Amino acid sequence: MTAFLELLQMSIITLVTVFFNPFFWLVIFLVYLQYKRIHKMSMKVIGKNSISPKEMTISSIKAGMIGGIIGTILMMVVGITVNVKDFYYIFPLAILLMLMNIRYICFSYSGGLLALFSLIVGFPKMNVPSIIGIIAILHLVESILIYVDGHKGAVPIFLEDKKYGVIGGFTLQRFWPIPFIVLIFVSGIVEGSTKINLPDWWPLFKGNMNLENVTLQMAVVVAALGYGDMAISSIPKDKCSVSSKRLFLYSTMLLIISMISTKIELFQWIGAIFSPLAHEYLIIYGQREEKTKTPIFRKHSRGVTILYRKDGGVGDQIGLNPGDVIVKLNSHWVNDQEDIKDILKEVPPFIWMEVIEPLGKIKTFEYKDYQRGIKSLDIVMIPKDTSFIFDIETSSCLLKKMIYFVKNRIKR
């Protein structure tokens, strides 16, 4: 146990050197660009109160560093050893795939495809069990981050539904730079190295290598994890909870496959195929599940449905929640946003409203502001119609956006 503690202490100290790694800052720059894009979309619906790209990026870096420490601990416990050169192929491919779809920045796609290619043609020469094991642990970390951090910065959107017309929802897009430590086999004994007596079973991912005349060195590797989903039939936090549990199951299964693959070569093929396909299935299944369920942010026969409340605003102070339906305001029936605007255009100092919660419970709320009056409820509501319809396909494909941008420039 003492040996493991020494190893973990050395790993976490080494992790600090990531701030001198240019790839780490490249990943942060890419994350910032994604949040800048999301912020533009958010401004159309929320307005000035949307969270800035800088704040979102800093938040992701903090969460990513914690995730990196968790990932490092898990990798040290099972003893995954790799060739750092493997990531010279994985990282560029992840960036290339990201242009096709934002979620493809995930290593489950680039790592899985390269592992499969390595098995088929022998290039690049990769330690397939270790690559699969790293993908599994990264997604284990991602499942934790989604659970605690995935709902932050959820952007309200409007969608077109054949049955309900304009409905509301949230696009969940979070990106985390994850620095972690990997172990590298070095032939011979390195001068100045520290000797730690670890148990015979460790590391699990040593393969057929003879450990008698080798030294294990530590290296910092940077990964980018991306979570993209939509919440239509549930609130963002509940959606993230379900997604994280499914991803945890996926990563556990992949980790077991990777461990078995160190002994049985067939499981290397299974792991390389399972990694991208199972991950893609989880996303497609989740999207289809959302479409088949009844959306909670929809227009009802009466009242106005709340999609989003601004932090610290009037609606937030009153206690309104997404999914609530305002049916009465100051004794007047309301059926659309214009009704509410008409009531508040006189800037009343006191308001009272009748609200129906998603489960059907009726509540009454009151609010007063005698000094300034009440001009707005600071909420986003489901309109009868809108020009801000969210395009799922275009929003996720950066390559299409780039082509569209170039075409527009040529026309001008």
Report the CATH number at residue 335.
2.30.42.10
How far is the C-alpha of 45 from the C-alpha of 386, rounded, in Å? Answer: 10
pLDDT at 18 over 80: yes
pLDDT at 118: 93
Point out the least confidently predicted range of 194-208, 221-235, 285-299, 389-403. Answer: 389-403
- Domain containing 232: what range? 2-292
pLDDT at 384 over 70: yes
Is residue 396, in this structure, part of any structural domain at all?
Answer: no
Q: Are residues 259 and 330 in the same domain?
A: no
Q: Are residues 285 and 316 in the same domain?
A: no
pLDDT at 404: 44
- Tell the residue number behind the tokens 């007063």, with chain if given: 368
pLDDT at 207 over 80: no
Q: Number of structural domains, the chain?
A: 2
Tokens coding 128:
């397939």
Q: Are residues 119 and 189 in the same domain?
A: yes
How far is the C-alpha of 253 from the C-alpha of 72, rounded, in Å? Answer: 19
pLDDT at 208: 47
Point out the least confidently predicted range of 9-13, 213-217, 234-238, 360-364. Answer: 213-217
Is residue 267, in this structure, part of any structural domain at all?
Answer: yes
* 342-381 per-position pLDDT tens digit: 999 989 999 999 999 988 899 999 999 998 899 999 999 9
Q: How confident is the model at residue 32 (pLDDT cuts 50, 70, 90)?
A: very high
Q: Are residues 107 and 141 in the same domain?
A: yes
Q: Are residues 7 and 103 in the same domain?
A: yes
Q: Are residues 78 and 196 in the same domain?
A: yes
pLDDT at 277 over 50: yes
pLDDT at 10: 79
Question: Of 271, 292, 313, which marks where a domain is finished?
Answer: 292
Point out the least confidently predicted range of 17-21, 27-31, 223-227. Answer: 223-227
Is residue 155, in this structure, part of any structural domain at all?
Answer: yes
pLDDT at 330: 93
Is residue 175, in this structure, part of any structural domain at all?
Answer: yes
User: What is this structure's pTM?
Assistant: 0.84
CA distances to 5, 30, 52, 91, 276 from 301, rounded to whole Å, are: 62, 44, 36, 51, 43
Burial class (CB in 10 A: 0-12, 13-18, 19+), 244: buried
Q: How confident is the model at residue 399 (pLDDT cuts 50, 70, 90)?
A: very low
Q: How confident is the model at residue 288 (pLDDT cuts 50, 70, 90)?
A: confident
- Tell the residue number behind the tokens 């601004």, with chain if given: 310
pLDDT at 21 over 70: yes
